[in-house]
Amino acid sequence: MLIKFFRSLASLKLTVVLLLLMAALVIGGTVYQAGSGIFAAQAKVFGSWLIWVAGFVPLPGMLLVSLLLFLNLLAAVFFRLRYRWRQAGLLLVHYGLLLLIGGGFFITVTAREFSLTLNEGQSSSALASADHHSGAVLPITIKLLDFTKAMHPGTDMPKSFSSRVEIAAGGSRRQAVVSMNRPLRYRNYTFYQSSYAEDGRGGESSTFLVVRNSGRWLPYAASALLFLGLAVHFLAMLAAALKKPHPAEERPLS
Amino acid sequence: MKNKISLAILACGFLAASVLPAAPSPLAPFRRLVVLEQGRKKPMDTFARNLLKQLSGRSALEGRDASSWLARVLFTPQATTDDKIFLIDQPEVLSGLGLEGEGRGRYSFAELRPGLDKLHELAFQSARRGESGSERVESGFLRLFYNISAYYGLLHAFSFARPGEAGIADARGASSMPAILPLSAKTDEEWLSPAQANSHGAALPAALQREISLLTKAARAYGDNWSEFSQALEAFDRSLRGRLGPEAVSSGKISLEIMYNRLDPFTKAEMAYGLALLLLLLSLVFRRRLLERLSASFLFLGFIAHSFGLIARMLIMGRPPVTNLYETFVFVAWTAVIMGLIMAWQQKQGLGLLAGGLAGLVFLVIAGRYSLDGDTMGMLAAVLDSNLWLATHVVTIALGYAGCVVAGIFGHVVIVQEMLHRRSDAAVRSLYAVLAFGLVFTSIGTLMGGIWADQSWGRFWGWDPKENGALLILIWLAVLFHARLAGWIGHVGLAVGGIGATIAVVLAWFGVNLLGVGLHAYGFTSGAARGLLAFIIVELVFIAVSVPLIRKRKTA
């Protein structure tokens, strides 16, 4: 009975329906976001199980659709996909997607975002959470030594900005630089250069986005599987296309 | 054989015509002057072109190139007030200034002068109302005001060099354009315009004073004594190099950029693609193999010019091929042309020529429209600067976009063939192949984008509009392949899906940019939004009309 249920869960038509639902949510969420901002869209569309329209009509939210798609994919991997060498690329792609969606759930549940603002010379290990309700304490102490920014010549456009910090962990101290696109990592914590402020008297402060995420590697692993699968599939397709001689006498298009 | 020889001659002629060196001109040293503008050191030639494009929507004036126009504005300003250089494309703007005229077209400074006080007033009102009230007409006032201010500044940029006018510029504040005088050897620091430098008077270092006197000499010699003009500017260039080191100004990149400007490779490519399409059309009518081959050769010639432009830009800027919206148009066009060429070569069919020629032409035309907004080689915001994942993911996504766009073209072909009872397997097979190509590269590009976002922003995925756009394309392509596998759609459905993929790409590509309309995006954006909507409606109507017709015939 259960097996039969799972078999029917592997249905291709279910895949198509779920994907179309997902597409509708992506469009709706994006348009909603343009009017109401990313946080509202997260709460209402992308991070929700059910969306209540007009207070009483429930629509599936992105989490629910993703979960169903995950189950559909899982069932497909067991019951529908054919394990042949020719399909190797596609198999890898489907396993990669399984890991990507599963990893996404794991991170949604476990990861936390904080912010940390330091004046030059100040040190701290207390993190403020993004929603201002609860903070956290870092296992290390961070001290902002110096903040620097460079402008494109003759413009107000910042070319780069970066913070030199000192990390005190246990008894050891070391220096590090956090800049745009070059975050600092410490165990499960990652520090990103987020913004800065000047107090007008030459003093500067720097704000970091701090992310605690123990599943950070999951999308990378999934991406690796997907890259490999797509490459294998693409090369197989290419080989097939080049091997198959095309009838030269086919009429020009009309 | 004879065909090949004639093609080879044609190709050589086309190439030679575009690569031949320009006739020696006394303005050559003027074109080579290095200007610092918006954070970038560029030749005066580029400065002049961007300015003239911004003012008039064109890069030449009555057959004279932008540099010779700019030289006249700088050195003989009174002679240029009758040049029709200010583009006004809304009748409301002209009537708002209380001026007579048709309302659309190019007007001269002299014609607009009576309305300047009114313009000043209206522009300030528009600016105060800010972005929220940025109606088309209001941004029209603002734009004209900026343009006239820029022109006015240039009229007085060399006043100090003209006897009798010396006091005027100082009284009005020195014009800050063009910034051609670097203050110190740290060339990225401050650059002054000649008028600004001159207003420092005796406080300037001796070397700069000498350079100003060289510029004065050139300004006075302009039009009368060409050899003295050139010599003075060459001496100026030597002086800068002596002061700052040979690499600081007039490097090889400057020469390359002047050549890039002169050859104008994308316009040449555009013409070649247009010709290729025309010849393809003729070959369908007259059924001559030769015409089809000619079409292929023009597509290839266009491709060479296109590639030259792409590579030249990479060398000039020292960065990957796709870093701003303008470059996405150029790159997607280029990719589509490569795909078309490969298909034309492999299948000996018109399909590839159609896809390459059409996508190449359309996107280069859009790029040309977009380039009117300013320097297409502008500097990058800090977040976008030099990161391997950024560079690669944008390029990969662009490949995916190209696949989807070509799929849309083939979708039309399949549907039209179906309506004309002329089904060809080649078209369906090609459609399938480019859809798969689009799916593979959009997937890889989106994942790479996720990795970049994780590296620089701290999250792999954040439901940002741009990310959602890419996801939408992916979901749509996945829907197509799974629905095909499930037997829900046949090849007509796949063709409709290909058109849908193009719509998804267009939405992800510009639709997303239009959600957050910025101030600098006047003109193009308002036009683009309407164009976008019109495109989608036309495609939907096409599908709504053609598919029932095909169905009806099949069931009958």
* ipTM score assigned to the predicted complex: 0.82
Q: What is the pLDDT of residues B348-366, one digit of tens each?
A: 678 889 999 999 999 999 8
In this structure, the dihedral spanned by the alpha carbons of residues A93, A96, A102 and A107, taken in order and rounded to 10 degrees, is -130
Indicate the DSSP class of residue B273. Answer: H
CA distance linking residue B239 with residue B208, whole number of Å: 9
Instruction: For chain A, say whether B518 makes contact (Cβ under 8 Å).
Output: no
CA distance linking residue A171 with residue B405, whole number of Å: 59
Output the pLDDT for position B334: 95
Distances (CA, A) of B5 to A51, B16, B300, B349, B350: 68, 16, 16, 21, 22
Phi/psi region, residue B523 (left: phi>0; alpha: psi -120 to 50; beta: rest), is left
B516 by DSSP, 3-state: which? coil
- Among residues B78, B75, B56, B76, the alpha carbon closest in space to that of B66 is found at B56
- Among residues B510, B519, B509, B482, the alpha carbon closest in space to that of B497 is found at B482
Q: Which helix (H) or strand (E) holds A35?
A: helix A12-36
- The reported pTM is 0.82
DSSP per-residue codes, B430-474:
HHHHHHHHHHHHHHHHHHHHHHHHHHHHS-S----HHHHHHHHHH
Q: Nearest Cβ partner of B39 from A15, A152, A253?
A: A152
Instruction: For chain B, say whether A27 makes contact (Cβ under 8 Å).
Output: yes
B75 burial type by CB count under 10 A (0-12 exposed, 13-18 middle, 19+ buried): buried
Interface test with A, best of B482, B510, B519, B520 (most A CBs within 10 A): B482
Q: What is the pLDDT of residues A93-124, one digit of tens each?
A: 999 999 999 999 998 888 888 888 888 888 88
Interface test with A, best of B277, B441, B479, B507 (most A CBs within 10 A): B479
Q: What is the pLDDT of residues A2-23, one digit of tens each?
A: 788 888 888 899 999 999 999 9
Q: What is the pLDDT of residues A122-140, one digit of tens each?
A: 888 888 876 656 778 888 8
> Which residue matches tokens 């123990």?
A214
Query: Percentage of residues in chain A with pLDDT exceeding 70?
Result: 90
Is the pLDDT at A42 greater than 80, yes or no?
Answer: no
Structure tokens at A128: 């403020």
Which residues numbered 405-424 in B keep a CB inside 8 Å of some CB on A?
413, 417, 420, 422, 424
Q: Nearest Cβ partner of B486 from A12, A216, A219?
A: A12
Q: Nearest Cβ partner of A23 from B422, B476, B482?
A: B476
Indicate the DSSP class of residue B114. Answer: G
Output the pLDDT for position A250: 40
Beta bridge partners of A123: A143
Tell me the shortest Cα–Cα distance from A143 to chain B, in angstroms: 21
Contact (CB, 8 A) for A196 and A149: yes
Q: What is the pLDDT of residues B113-165, one digit of tens each?
A: 777 777 777 777 776 665 444 455 667 777 788 888 888 888 877 777 777 66
Output the pLDDT for position B15: 60
- Among residues B120, B91, B106, B111, the alpha carbon closest in space to that of B52 is found at B106
Structure tokens at B374: 């300013």
Output the pLDDT for position A175: 87
Our CA angle for B396, B399, B404, nearest 5°, is: 130
**What are the boundaries of each domain within chain B?**
24-246, 264-386, 387-556
Output the pLDDT for position B523: 45
Output the pLDDT for position B527: 65
Pairing of strands A112-119, A57-60: unpaired
**Do the chains contact at B424 and A253, CB–CB below 8 Å?**
yes
Output the pLDDT for position B273: 95
Pairing of strands B64-65, A204-212: unpaired
Query: Percentage of residues in chain A with pLDDT exceeding 90?
Result: 24
Contact (CB, 8 A) for A19 and B475: yes
Output the pLDDT for position B245: 73
Residues of A in Cβ contact (< 8 Å) with B284: 252-254
Q: What is the pLDDT of residues A65-84, one digit of tens each?
A: 999 999 999 999 988 888 88
Measure the N-to-C terminal CA separation of chain A; round to a whole number of Å. Answer: 54
Which residues of chain B are under the pLDDT cut of 50? 1, 131-134, 169, 171, 187, 517-523
